[in-house]
């Protein structure tokens, strides 16, 4: 995709081709009035495999490598579910908990299997989102982290979101993220909180 210089200065590329993530990030970033693109809009993106060290490192690598390749500002993210009873697992392996090519349903099944004998009061967990913003040269210029605390149900509830959201109950609402839908996306989620924290830097840097 060819982008002229004036447009490039106000363009932010979301470092994912996942339609669910793109939709949520686009809603959260709408107040910036950036021209938002995703990796799905380009044919020459880099294949950036996720490492197993940390969410922060994965977010940095996604942002930096894609930005240098595309010559664009890129927002990279990595998100993990940390379950206390599993010593923080699945964590950085959340998207491939049931295997490298596993889908969301398989990941949820494995999580429920791992927690089969864990009582409800001990199923506390949190989502963590790490964001990294890289400039067109590939230098990471800003980072942020957001958390969302809750607990894991015994079976899925709700279909208004994706991933582990149908298992993740926000305790004070007695609803899962997948039942709360867009209302939660604007206020409660780990991704919303991370975006809120990185927004001032993004606006300052990208203009």
Q: Which residues are part of the catalytic machinery?
A: 78
Name the residue among 127, 192, 115 with its Cα closest to residue 165. Answer: 127
Are 176 and 151 within 8 A, CB to CB?
A: no
Residues linked to residue 150 through DSSP beta bridges, in sequence order: 125
> Which tokens sit at 17?
């081709």
3-state secondary structure of 179: helix
3-state secondary structure of 75: strand
**In this structure, what is the dihedral angle of CA atoms 168, 170, 171, 173, given to the nearest 10 degrees?**
-130
């Amino acid at each position: 995709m060819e982008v002229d210089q004036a447009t490039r200065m106000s363009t932010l590329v979301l470092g994912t081709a996942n339609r669910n993530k793109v939709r949520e990030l686009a809603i959260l970033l709408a107040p910036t009035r950036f021209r938002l693109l995703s990796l799905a809009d380009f044919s020459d993106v880099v294949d950036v495999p996720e490492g197993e060290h940390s969410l922060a490192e994965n977010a940095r690598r996604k942002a930096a490598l894609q930005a240098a390749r595309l010559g664009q500002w890129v927002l990279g993210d990595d998100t993990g579910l940390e379950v206390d009873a599993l010593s923080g697992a699945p964590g950085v392996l959340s998207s491939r908990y049931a295997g490298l090519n596993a889908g969301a349903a398989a990941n949820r099944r494995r999580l429920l299997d791992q927690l089969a004998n864990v009582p409800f009061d001990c199923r506390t967990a949190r989502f963590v989102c790490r964001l990294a913003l890289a400039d067109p040269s590939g230098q990471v210029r800003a980072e942020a982290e957001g958390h969302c605390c809750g607990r894991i149900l015994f079976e899925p509830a709700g279909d208004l979101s994706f991933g582990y959201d149908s298992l993740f109950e926000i305790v004070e609402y007695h609803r899962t993220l997948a039942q709360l839908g867009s209302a939660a996306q604007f206020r409660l989620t780990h991704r919303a909180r991370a975006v809120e924290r990185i927004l001032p830097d993004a606006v300052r840097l990208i203009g």
